[in-house]
Chains A and B, each alone.
Chain A
Amino acid sequence: MDALADFLRVYQTTVGVIGINALLALSVWLTLYAGQLTLGNAAFMAIGAYGSALLGMRMGVPFPLGLTLGALLAAALALPLGLAVFRLRGVYLAIATIGFGEVLRVVLLTVPFTGKALGLNGIPAITELWHIYLSLAVVAYVLWRVQGSTVGRAWAAIREDEIAAASQGIAIRRYKLAAFVAGAAIAAWAGGLSAHLNFSIEPGDFGFTRAVQILVFAVVGGTPSVAGPIVGATLLTALPEVLRPLKEYRDIFAGLILMGVIIYLPRGLVTLAELRKTRRLQEIGVADVA
């Protein structure tokens, strides 16, 4: 138990960031599972982070209420946005959501209320590790249950073939919007937690790079199950720490590992265990197992 306590003391920030990244990865997994490739979750994260931090610092709103309001605000913005981009799919949706994120980032850079380029400093560090991991456990459990429910099957059907799903009587628009809005709320919740884990936030934290990073966590981890995004976020967040001895070659290895995973483990890290089975099936001639 002492060893664990020591480990947590030394790596407290990393452990916290891992949990937050896992939440973010789950937020984008939810939309991917419903067949929507969105890069807007960094923007919703920013809304949660700025929303909860401003509410707490300027108006003295208690932390849990601030987090909730931040998530609700993100959901309230995601609803009209989701309606507007409802028809878009694939990279078109991705680019539209990037556009939304960039507009938000530039607005945060320009408006004095959000501190312009300097962002917000002196945010009280009140996020505890158990806040993060309790949130992660709740979100992961709910998503896992939803995945197996009628709703989850409807999402999967929409992802595989939208027209076929519609012809089965699935209310496409409603289900897609639900995934989009719920993903936004989860990302905003994670954003609020991360703002109060660090001392400061700035618009640059929530740009294109962050949006892609969140997506990479989910895809590298694997999208077939809820475990994938959590595994992906954990390993990729811990990777820089693990690769620290490589010093300046660290990013190079991180990039190579990213390529290696996407090329050799197409369905993500969580399918590693199934790989030998897959090979065996291919050898005996069962095509198209993946």
Chain B
Amino acid sequence: MAEQLYNAIFVGSIYALFAVGFALVFSVLDILNLAHPVVFMLGAFVALFFMSTFGLPAALAAVAAFAVTGMFGIFLDRVAFAPLRRRGAPPLSAMISSLGFAIVVIRLMELRYGPDLVSYPAGSLPQTVLQIGDARLDGLRLLIIGLAIVLMVGLTYVVRATQLGRDIRALAENPRAARLLGVDVDRAIAATFFISSGLGGVAGALLGFAYNAIYPQMGTPYELKAFTVMVVGGMGSLPGAVLGAYILGIGEIAALVFLPAELAELRDALAFGLLFLVLVIRPRGLLGHRVADRA
């Protein structure tokens, strides 16, 4: 039971790291970034690259993954979103543009690494097992949970208490007014994408470390999960995304534990059923404060 709860918190932490980046871009720019799963996947592969080519330890490789995918996020914005923004195109266009971008990057990675599972170099990941009572807990996952929480606290600090965070929030409120008030809007947008993609990339690297199996399409299942997480927590609310992520993580593991084996497949339906119910009953989610009918 303790092991199941531990896994639930681990899964929730990965969902949360994935979803806060996704939610950040949505809350600031109203874009559903369908290339976010690609950034997640790239994080895992960037870590692999630094570990196998330069022999970097896993911890430093995760930092490298943050930096590289963060920069990649800025590139993504320049290529897929900036031209549309200049024209004032509807959010739907941005969604489709990021989809095209995602297809290109996934295919390029498949050409380079093949579509199959890739592992990290042998012996590069710490392997400790914590024995607490009867429960055997993977030590690496504890580190990952801790790191995820530190990153989310850091994100909250940046958004709430720094000048950059104030700029980003002003941009989210009204880009035009923010510009008139002297906010460097382009810099705030670049920072938004850097943070969002960096967090997505770290999430991918950490998930890769935990399972030691990465592949070019690994981000895709998390995309739909992230929708659920954002909707349950409240679209565009960062604390909501974190809360939603842990609810989903715990709910999924609970379904796995309590549902009979032949109905185990249904646990995914549970997640999406939850999503649907929240949207119908309380469209603004648990912690959302905006009205839901914004187009």
A252–B293 CA distance with the chains assembled, in angstroms:
36
- Return B82 CB to nearest CB of chain A, in Å: 10
Question: A90 touches which one: B91, B224, B268 (CB < 8 A)?
Answer: B91
B75 within 8 A of A: no
Q: Which residue of A lies closest to B265 (CB)?
A: A110
- Return B73 CB to nearest CB of chain A, in Å: 17
Measured between beta carbons, the chain B residues less than 8 angstroms from A102 are 224, 268-269, 272
A248 with B111, Cβ < 8 A, contacts A92-B235, A98-B227 known:
yes
Measured between beta carbons, the chain B residues less than 8 angstroms from A254 are 103
B56 within 8 A of A: no
- Return A174 CB to nearest CB of chain B, in Å: 18
Measured between beta carbons, the chain A residues less than 8 angstroms from B92 are 37, 219
Measured between beta carbons, the chain A residues less than 8 angstroms from B273 are 99, 103
Contact A89 B100 (CB under 8 A): no
A37–B276 CA distance with the chains assembled, in angstroms:
16
Contact B107 A252 (CB under 8 A): yes
- Determine the main DSSP class of A at the interface with B: helix
A61 within 8 A of B: no
Instruction: List residues of chain B with CB under 8 Å of any chain A CB.
Output: 32, 34, 79-80, 83-84, 87, 89, 91-93, 95-97, 99-104, 107-108, 111, 223-224, 227-228, 231, 235, 263, 265-266, 268-269, 272-273, 275-276, 279-280, 283, 292-295
Contact A99 B276 (CB under 8 A): yes
Give the one of B89, B103, B275, B276 with max A CB within 10 A: B276
A252 with B97, Cβ < 8 A, contacts A90-B294, A90-B295 known:
no
Q: List residues of A (98-133) whose CB comes within 8 Å of B's CBs.
A: 98-100, 102-103, 106-107, 109-110
Contact A258 B295 (CB under 8 A): no
- Return A287 CB to nearest CB of chain B, in Å: 12
Question: A103 touches which one: B95, B97, B103, B272 (CB < 8 A)?
Answer: B272
Contact B231 A95 (CB under 8 A): yes
Contact A95 B275 (CB under 8 A): yes
- Return A280 CB to nearest CB of chain B, in Å: 18
Q: Which of A52-60, A80-88, A142-150, A269-277 contacts B (4 or more CB under 8 A)?
A: A80-88
A235 within 8 A of B: no
Contact A84 B91 (CB under 8 A): no
- Return A90 CB to nearest CB of chain B, in Å: 4
Question: A106 touches which one: B32, B93, B272, B295 (CB < 8 A)?
Answer: B272
Measured between beta carbons, the chain A residues less than 8 angstroms from B231 are 92, 95, 99
Measured between beta carbons, the chain B residues less than 8 angstroms from A103 are 269, 272-273, 276
Contact A255 B276 (CB under 8 A): no
A266 within 8 A of B: yes
Contact A99 B275 (CB under 8 A): yes
Contact A251 B227 (CB under 8 A): no
Q: Which residue of A lies closest to B269 (CB)?
A: A106
Contact B280 A84 (CB under 8 A): yes
Contact A106 B265 (CB under 8 A): yes
Measured between beta carbons, the chain A residues less than 8 angstroms from B101 are 255, 259
A219–B235 CA distance with the chains assembled, in angstroms:
24
A262 within 8 A of B: yes
